Amino acid sequence: MLFSGRPLEVLSTRGEWNQVKVSDSGKAGWVLSRFLATYLPWEAQAKKLQEDLVSLNAKLNRLQKEFSDESQQRQGLAAELRQKTKELETLSKQYSELKKGAEGYVGLKTILEANENNLKAAQSELREVAAENEALRSLQRNGCF
């Protein structure tokens, strides 16, 4: 006797009859074509769907873990970005202050260079005057005046 859902192999066909062989026992016989189905029996479909469900649940768990890991990494990167932004703001303020101070420095440096040039000129003139003064003293000592 043949039960519903047993896998069969069709060996030949004559009209509405099919010669079949039972896959697991190897017994052969004839069956009307209308009693054969070309789809998986519901038990096999249910088993396949359960296997698919297990596989999909494993994939879902893996994806949820990856999502969680990525979320944690994103939060870490966001915190690092906030920290780096604060550091950049601090450095920008310090740069602005240094730039303002440098403007005063450049002005002072220009004044210093001008004063150094004036000092050199005054020292040169002082040497000339001192030499002239020494010459006049020498003449005065010699009695030319």
The amino acid that residue 75 corresponds to is Q
Residue 25's pLDDT band (boundaries 50, 70, 90)? Answer: confident
Percentage, residues of the chain above pLDDT 90: 63
More confidently predicted of 42 and 97: 97
Whether residue 5 is predicted with pLDDT greater than 80 in this model: the reply is no
pLDDT digits (tens, 9 = 90+) for 31-80: 999 888 877 778 888 999 999 999 999 999 999 999 999 999 999 999 99
Q: How far is it, in rounded angstroms, from Cα 38 to Cα 74?
A: 51
Report the b/e string of 74-113 with b at 16+ CB within 10 A: eeeeeeeeeeeeeeeeeeeeeeeeeeeeeeeeeeeeeeee
pLDDT of residue 26: 85
- pTM comes to 0.45
Q: Which two tokens stand for residue 23?
A: 């896959």
pLDDT of residue 30: 93
> Per CATH, the architecture of 1-38 is what?
Roll (2.30)
Contact 131, 139 (CB under 8 A): no
pLDDT of residue 44: 80
pLDDT of residue 59: 98
Percentage, residues of the chain above pLDDT 70: 99
DSSP letter for each residue of the chain: ---TT--EEEEEEETTEEEEEETTT--EEEEEGGG--SS--HHHHHHHHHHHHHHHHHHHHHHHHHHHHHHHHHHHHHHHHHHHHHHHHHHHHHHHHHHHHHHHHHHHHHHHHHHHHHHHHHHHHHHHHHHHHHHHHHHHHHT--
Tell me the backbone φ, ψ of residue 71, rounded to 5 degrees.
-65, -45
